A = this chain, B = another copy of it.
Amino acid sequence: MPRFRVPEITVERLSIYLRALKKFPEEKVLSSQELAELVGTTDAQVRKDITYFGEFGIPGQGYHVGKLKEEITHILALDREWELALVGVGKLGTALLAYPGFKKKEFRIRAIFDNDPKKIGIRIEGLIVRSVEKISETLSRYGIKIGIITTPAEAAQDVADRLVRGGVKGILNFAPVRIIVPEKVKLKNVDLSMELETLSYFLSEGTSTGSHNF
C-alpha cells in the first residue's frame, strides 16, 4: 500500500489507465507519453501518478503492460471480489443492475432492496427484491461492505442509516440529495444532474451575458 494519501483524482486516473492498458498485449512496453495519449493527460502527469505507488517502470523504455496492469489492479484493490447491495429498484436501479461495469467479477451485486410491496419478492437480473426492513440483517449476514442507493431523494437518508447499521464501509449515492454518514464510511455522491450543471458552466464560458462585471 502507498505510504501517503493519494488524491482522489489520481485514483480515478489509475482506473482510466487500467481501462486503456487492457487493450494491449501483456508483453508490450508503453512509454509514459504513449500512456498519456491514451488517457488524455501529459507524460509528466503519468510519471507523477505512477510514482505515488512506487517505481516500476523500465528506465529509458516505459512500462510493461502486464506488470502495470497487475500493479494498478492491486492498488485499486480490484484483485479481490466486492459484494454490493443495491437499494431502490426503480428505473435507475434496474439500469445499474444491467450495467456492464457492475457485472464484473470484482463487483458483484449480491442483494437488492425496495420499499414497494409490489416489488418485494420478484426477481430482477437473477436477484430477489427484499424489503428495505431487511437491509441491516442481510448485510451483516453476508458481510456486504458496499451499498448503492438508487432511491428517490426522500428515502435516501433512512436507507443510508440502514446500510451503515448493516456494516457497510462505502456508499455510492445516486439519490439527488446530500446524505450524512459517519466519518468511517466513505461516501461517493453521483449526481447526474450536477454533471450537466458543470457542462453548462463550461459551455457558457466566454459567452458574456452582459449583466456581470466582476
Contacts and interface: CB of A to CB of B under 8 A. Distances in A.
Contacts of A198: 8, 11-12, 15, 188
Contact of A195 (B190, B208, B209, B214): B190
Interface in A45-85: 53-55, 74-78, 80, 82, 84
A74 B104 contact: no
A194 B15 contact: yes
Given A1-B209, A194-B16, A11 B201 contact: yes
B178 A203 contact: no
Contacts of A8: 198, 202
Interface stretch (A89-97, A115-123, A159-167): A89-97
A98 to B, nearest CB: 5
9 closest Cβ pairs, A-B complex: A101-B193, A54-B214, A77-B204, A95-B95, A91-B95, A15-B197, A92-B95, A170-B199, A15-B194
Nearest to A200: B77
Contacts of A55: 214
A82 B170 CA distance: 34
Given A19-B178, A91-B95, A95-B94, A197 B1 contact: no
A128 interface: no
Contacts of A99: 91-92, 192-193
Contacts of A201: 6, 11, 14, 75-77
Interface string A165-188: 000011010001010000000101
A170 B195 CA distance: 11
Given A197-B15, A214-B54, A101 B203 contact: no
A126 interface: no
B212 A74 contact: yes
A191 B101 contact: yes
A118 B72 CA distance: 42
A190 B198 CA distance: 12
27 contacts: A1-B206, A1-B209, A1-B212, A2-B214, A11-B198, A11-B202, A12-B198, A16-B178, A16-B194, A53-B214, A75-B201, A76-B197, A78-B200, A84-B196, A91-B98, A92-B95, A95-B95, A99-B193, A100-B193, A101-B192, A107-B200, A170-B199, A170-B203, A172-B196, A172-B199, A186-B203, A188-B199
